[in-house]
Amino acid sequence: MTLAAIGPGLLLAATGVGGGDLATGSIVGSIVGPAVLWAVIVGAFLKFVVTEGLTRWQLATGDSFLEGVNHRFGRGAIWVFMPYLLLWSYFACSAQISACGVAMAAVFPVFENPEVGRAFFGILCSVVGLVLVIRGGYRLFEKIMRVCISVMFLTVVATAIVLWPGTGVVLSGLLIPNLGDLSGDGLTWTIALIGGVGGTVTVLAYGYWLREVDRNGPEDLRICRFDLGVGYGMTALFGVAMVIVGSTVVIEGSGATLLVDLANRLEEPMGPIGKWMFLIGAWGTVFSSLLGVWQSVPYIFADCWGLARGERTPGQIDIVDTKGAPYRGYLFFIAFVPMLGLFTAFTEVQKLYNIAGALFFPFVVIALLFLNGRSAWVGEQFRNRPLTWIALLAVLAFFSALAVRTVATVWGT
């Protein structure tokens, strides 16, 4: 394998890691400490299992996951998914815009009122992301994301190294799952950490990015597994770094504003340079996530739109027309309509976003159990093996429990 093999996996890692991951990782680290580092590895592995299954289906059949659902389960499944996608898009993109606004307002504190700064810079980041996606296409998107990835990982990982709690402590947290210290908020946040690592709906984007780099056949599965392994490895590394950073300070508050509070508290042990280094890394993290969502989610909608209208043939490899009305129309929708969330209660937006995200993975895993479970559909070489069945059932059990817990928690508040 060469560095050329690493591409869509890195984009997936940058898109799946956003402001929520920064906040969740640091909060868990503050509450429980490095003893919970194993949870990051578990979360990254669960997402790898799901995305590998999506990739295996696509390379074996030529169909994207949504095309497979449409062709095997009927067009009605797509019509059910589309309202969910609209709901998820609104709340997820509203959270992205808000997180970018907060991070950029912290880097450029030119407004006396932080809410004004959050709104101004959030809108600015959304519009810039829109222009970059429209003008540059996939290739420019990939280049910009590589720069953002370098900034976010170098700065955040460097911060963790400066605050290193000790190699023995870190190895113990990574290799020895310690459940004894988890109770109350610690348990809740640890579950959130496992479930939040690596994004939700955006895992579907990996299949469309594979088509952009012309990986379409069964012979590409090995290189895709390597690519995914590197991508989720970097996701895990980032999550571990954030838990380590959070374990060194006492954190108060929650939500996107936590990033500013965390940076201020890091100034004491690291000095002004360390504080600004972390803020720049935080902005790179949330903007790369926003840019990834802006570029990828319209793919998903455009695919759904074509399937709902009966415009797809099974096994036909189609690259979504990024200049077409479905793609660009949805891009404008997610870039502008979710701005309304800047002027509503952020906590309410987050509640509904958490519900929408929690409900996604059970749907995907159940579909994969059927799609990749039949040799007649994917061939003997690509069907689920016993260990894959066990892993997928474990993912289903965890995310189903997470969905129930999230809905019950939000409903009761």
Answer with the residue of higher pLDDT: 321 or 358. 321
Examine the pLDDT at 7 and tell me if it is beyond 90: no
pLDDT over 90 (residue 121): yes
Higher pLDDT, 63 or 254: 63
Residue with tokens 């490095």: 34
Which pLDDT tens digit goes with each residue over 181-207?
A: 555 566 777 777 787 787 889 999 999
Average pLDDT of the segment spanning 141-149: 84
Residue 114 pLDDT class (50, 70, 90 cuts): confident
Cβ count within 10 A of residue 2: 7
Residue 8 near residue 209, CB atoms below 8 Å: yes
More confident call, 160 vs 130:
130
Least confident of 105-114, 259-268, 276-285, 336-345: 259-268
Apex 15 CA angle, 13 and 21, nearest 5:
80
Structure confidence at residue 335 (pLDDT): 96
* pLDDT above 80: residue 292: yes
Higher-confidence residue of 18 and 309: namely: 309
Grade residue 301 by pLDDT with cuts at 50, 70 and 90: very high
Place of tokens 């500013």: 260
CB 50 within 8 A of CB 271: no
Token pair in block for residue 394: 């474990």
Q: What is the pLDDT of residue 219?
A: 92
161-172 tens-digit pLDDT: 888 888 998 998
pLDDT of residue 255: 47
pLDDT at res. 49: 94
Average of pLDDT values for 150-154?
Answer: 82
Q: pTM, whole model, 2 decimals?
A: 0.89
Closest CA to 131 of 294, 340, 300, 302: 294
| In the predicted structure, residue 176 carries a pLDDT above the cut 80 | yes
CA 307 to chain centroid, in Å, comes to 25
What pLDDT sits at residue 305?
92
Question: Residues 114-130: what's their mean pLDDT?
Answer: 91
| Pick from 61-75, 300-314, 348-362, 364-378: least confident | 348-362
**pLDDT reported for residue 2:** 54
Q: Is residue 356 classed exposed, middle or buried when 0-12, 13-18 and 19+ CB atoms within 10 A define those classes?
A: buried
Q: How far is CA 132 from the centre of its chain?
A: 20
Query: pLDDT tens, 329-379?
Result: 999 999 999 998 887 655 555 556 666 666 788 999 999 999 999 999 999
Q: What is the number of other CB atoms lying within 10 angstroms of the CB of residue 185?
A: 12
Q: Provide the CATH number for the domain formed by 3-411 in this structure.
A: 1.20.1740.10
pLDDT of residue 369: 95
% of the chain residues with pLDDT over 70: 85
> Helix, strand or coil for residue 344?
coil
Q: What is the pLDDT of residues 234-252, one digit of tens each?
A: 999 988 988 888 887 665 5
For the chain, what is the mean pLDDT?
84
Alpha carbons 249 and 28: distance in angstroms, whole number: 11
Alpha carbons 116 and 6: distance in angstroms, whole number: 39
Under DSSP, is residue 80 helix (H, G, I), strand (E, B) or coil?
Answer: helix
Q: For the chain, what percentages of helix, strand and coil (3-state, to nearest 5) are there? A: 80, 0, 20
C-alpha separations of 189 from 27, 58, 76, 182, 243 in Å: 8, 34, 36, 9, 11
Q: Give the span between the Cα atoms of 131 and 136, in whole angstroms.
A: 8
